[in-house]
Amino acid sequence: MTKKTIFSIILIVPLMFIISGCVSSINQNQLSYGIQAAKKDLWNEAIFRWEKCLKSNPNSASAHNNLAVAYEKKGLLDKAKKEYEAALKINPGNKHIKSNYENFKKARENTDDEKN
């Protein structure tokens, strides 16, 4: 390896760690902003934040779950189901996500029963 290559590696590797840390921090901020918006019943803002988070981190089970709850609140039930399933696929052992999805399915069954 040349000195130039070694120097480049020495500069790039720490930069990669810094950037990945920033992305993680940004995603955490988006999740937090979304939660604050949801607490104020600002569901469109919450959806915006969690969709933004998923663009940079599509494997965030929390963002998928939160987005599912928001879609459910907005009556976008097909989208909610898709997001719950995505969250469970990423983190199948998460009790909170499982519970949310079970409650969602029960609510849909009750709605379907009322229609019949």
**CB-based contacts of 104: which residues, under 8 Å, 6+ apart?**
68, 72, 80, 81, 84
Q: How far apart are CA 41 and CA 95, in angstroms?
A: 24
CATH, residue 104: 1.25.40.10
Task: Give the list of residues 6+ apart from residue 17 with CB closer than 8 angstroms, or none.
Answer: none
Report how many domains make up the chain. 1
pLDDT in the model for residue 18? 36
**Could you read off the pLDDT of 67-112 as tens digits, one per residue?**
999 999 999 999 999 999 999 999 999 999 999 999 999 988 876 6
Domain hosting 8: range is 3-115
- Phi first, then psi: give them for residue 101, nearest 5 degrees: -70, -40
